[in-house]
């Protein structure tokens, strides 16, 4: 009896709690009836399309609520639509996954490209309020600085059209990423230690203000981009899925310090490593990363894994990896290693499977013999990058084998065409190949020619005839298989 009463009381309390929560919520709930009019009336709003059962939506909920509360005084509203209750509306909005967030300006939607954390949502929506370049005066500088963790202001003369053009072009291309302002006030520039033309970064991390004068008579877009890529990131910060893209997009090599967050020495070691990060500012970015959560990433960077702390540098342009075996003197070993890297004295770590004892019609390439077989000057080389677990790769295997045998059937063709494959999970693609591996299988043709190193990517259907035609049309030797070979090998080949 008491248990039943307690259950009723508990249910009532939960219901009251939910009702109370809904009552104080600053996130507007929309449905198919209210949606159209609401978004039409709002000059700037963010709408989340969600499903109650979606785990990512549930994780977003508290961040979304906090962001709505913080943005409310700024007249930026947040709303949500339950797609299980408004299916037709979500179909009209082309919602294909949950949660999907869209920015609306008087009913016109654009994709939301920020993070799903409260700080990221607030920062992104504040940027949406601003023009690409805000005019900065002594009266509004502090307000502009409060809009984000990193704010860029160009101090330039009104007559300097080259600097103004470069700043506006940069701001237009990066308005979702950064708050940008311009000032023509020399006294305001002087307070920041700048003289026309110059850039000043106002930050809530590291040094609060950083100044860079133009290298020439005017600012260029290239130097603005370089300045922002370097100064918009902290000296050393924790990296995760939320901010990884910023580091990847910078194009600057990334140095990872893998450490367990609960390690008693973590904070002290990270603080020490910031001195190395400051010394090499602009040459590489340095971060620390949760070794327990991202141990698989450590192995992908050719670290042994399970041995923490660990350190590795990754070239974000070509993917080259430079792992370091840390000694007891972490700061000393990292400092020396980074200096050698910056000076170009280190060789990348290339993961390679063992060299096969025998080869078949399809040559099995490993990283250690990549140049030997793939960069064969005499042959048109078709390369498949595959994964043993990939179903599409398994389906392609018999077709690929028949293709290799067809070229090997005649001495003339075998001297001009080579069919090779490499396990992309057991081998690193050497940096000199300049291949961005985005999925399996990836098929590439390296045409014959002395010193030829460029690849032609294959995007057709994976049938015998189509692959043979690709080699004949894109290869240097234009080798075409005889019809009899094609007919023999082409039974039920298309995926």
Q: List residues with catalytic annotation.
A: 54, 57, 390, 393
Nearest to 205 by CA among 173, 231, 240: 231
Q: What is the 3-state secondary structure (H, E, C) of 69-89?
A: HHHHHHCCEEEEEECCCCHHH
CA atoms within 13 A on the CB side of 70: 17
Q: What sign does the dihedral 170-174-178-181 (CA atoms) show?
A: positive
Query: 10 Å Cβ neighbour count for 263?
Result: 14
Burial of 148 (0-12, 13-18, 19+ CB in 10 A): buried
Say how far apart CA 349 and CA 428 lie, in whole Å. 9
Neighbours of 85 (CB within 10 A): 13
3-state secondary structure of 428: coil
**Interatomic CA distance for residues 245 and 472, integer angstroms:** 39
| Residues in a beta bridge with 211 | 200
Longest dimension (CA), the chain: 91
């Amino acid at each position: 009896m008491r248990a039943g009463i307690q259950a009723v009381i508990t249910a009532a309390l939960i219901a009251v709690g939910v009702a109370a929560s809904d009552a104080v919520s600053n996130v507007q709930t929309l449905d198919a009836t209210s949606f159209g009019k609401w978004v039409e009336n709002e000059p700037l709003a963010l709408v989340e399309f969600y499903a109650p059962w979606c785990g990512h939506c549930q994780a977003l909920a508290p961040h979304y609520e906090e962001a709505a509360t913080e943005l409310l005084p700024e007249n930026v509203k947040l709303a949500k639509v339950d797609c299980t209750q408004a299916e037709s509306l979500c179909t009209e909005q082309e919602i294909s996954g949950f949660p999907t967030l869209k920015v609306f300006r008087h009913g016109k939607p654009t994709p939301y490209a920020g993070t799903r954390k409260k700080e990221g949502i607030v920062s992104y929506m504040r940027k949406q309020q601003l023009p690409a370049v805000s005019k900065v005066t002594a009266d509004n500088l502090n307000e502009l600085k409060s809009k984000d963790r990193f704010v860029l202001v160009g101090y330039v003369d009104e007559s300097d059209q080259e600097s103004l053009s470069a700043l506006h072009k940069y701001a237009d291309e990066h308005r979702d990423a950064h708050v940008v302002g311009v000032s023509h006030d020399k006294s305001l520039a002087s307070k920041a230690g700048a003289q026309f033309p110059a850039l000043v970064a106002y930050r809530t991390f590291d040094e609060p203000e950083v100044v860079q004068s133009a290298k020439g008579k005017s600012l260029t877009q290239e130097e603005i981009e370089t300045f922002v890529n370097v100064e918009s990131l902290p000296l050393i910060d924790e990296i995760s899925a939320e901010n990884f893209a910023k580091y990847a997009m910078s194009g600057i090599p990334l140095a990872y310090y893998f450490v367990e967050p609960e390690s008693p020495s973590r904070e002290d070691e990270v603080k020490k490593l910031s001195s190395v990060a400051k010394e090499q500012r602009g040459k590489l970015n340095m971060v620390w990363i949760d070794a327990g959560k991202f141990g698989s990433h450590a192995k992908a960077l050719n670290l042994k894994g399970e041995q923490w702390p660990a350190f590795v540098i990754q070239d974000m342009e070509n993917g080259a990896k430079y792992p370091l075996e840390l000694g007891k003197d972490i700061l000393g070993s990292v400092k020396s290693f980074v200096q050698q890297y910056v000076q170009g004295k280190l060789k990348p770590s290339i993961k390679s499977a063992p060299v096969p004892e025998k080869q078949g019609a399809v040559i099995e390439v490993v990283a250690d013999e990549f140049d030997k077989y793939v960069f064969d000057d005499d042959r048109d080389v078709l390369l498949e990058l595959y994964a043993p677990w990939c179903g599409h790769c398994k389906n392609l295997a018999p077709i690929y084998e028949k293709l290799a045998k067809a070229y090997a059937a005649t001495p003339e063709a075998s001297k001009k065409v080579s069919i090779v494959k490499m396990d992309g999970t057991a081998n690193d693609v050497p940096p000199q190949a300049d291949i961005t591996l985005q999925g399996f299988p990836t098929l590439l043709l390296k045409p014959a020619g002395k010193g030829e190193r460029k690849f032609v990517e294959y995007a057709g259907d994976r049938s015998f005839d189509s692959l043979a035609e690709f080699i004949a049309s894109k290869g240097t030797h234009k080798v075409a298989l005889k019809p009899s070979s094609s007919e023999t090998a082409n039974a039920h080949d298309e995926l």
